[in-house]
């Protein structure tokens, strides 16, 4: 059995598709069927490793940006159930004149409402 661990981020230099390693001797592009000798790839492994790191870094940035949207609790009366605690976040609207809109989510009934 071919061990594909550590070779997941090898890409076809013709079409950019991730290569599969059906044999310990060669890797193959599943799309255009280009074969690469494993020995050729091993010589280039460092640059491929860097691209894999770049991908992970990009994913890491995406995840971190998601986490930046922290929900803070605020005393805000829910217009639906009357509960007086809600989480909120603000979002800049596309149009500059509209400014920021604050979105509230009731911590009891999850009703969402907004306030300019």
* Residue of 6, 8, 17, 25 interacting with Zn ion (CB under 5 A): 17
Is 74 a binding residue for Zn ion by CB under 5 A? The answer is no
* Residue of 15, 42, 59, 93 interacting with Zn ion (CB under 5 A): 15
Among 81, 18, 4, 9, residue whose Cα is nearest residue 50: 9
What's the DSSP call for residue 98? G
Among 113, 115, 105, residue whose Cα is nearest residue 74: 105
Q: Which residues are CB-contacts of 49 (< 8 A; sequence separation ≥ 6)?
A: 9
Is 12 a binding residue for Zn ion by CB under 5 A? The answer is yes
42 annotated among ligand-binding-site residues: no
Query: Would you say how long the chain is, in residues?
Result: 116
Q: Which residues make up each annotated binding site for Zn(2+)?
A: 12, 15, 29, 32, 78, 81, 106, 109
Positions touching Zn ion (CB under 5 A) are 12, 14-15, 17, 29, 31-32, 34, 78, 80-81, 83, 106, 108-109, 111
């Amino acid at each position: 059995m071919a061990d594909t661990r550590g070779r997941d981020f090898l890409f076809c230099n013709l079409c950019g598709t991730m290569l599969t390693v059906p044999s310990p001797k060669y890797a193959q592009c599943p799309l255009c069927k280009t074969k690469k000798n494993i020995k050729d790839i091993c010589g280039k492994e460092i640059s491929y490793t860097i691209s894999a790191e770049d991908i992970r870094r990009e994913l890491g940035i995406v995840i971190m940006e998601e986490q930046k949207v922290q929900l803070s609790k605020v005393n805000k009366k829910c217009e639906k159930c009357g509960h007086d605690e809600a989480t909120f976040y603000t979002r800049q609207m596309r149009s500059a004149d509209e400014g920021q809109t604050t979105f509230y989510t009731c911590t009891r009934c999850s009703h969402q409402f907004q306030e300019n």
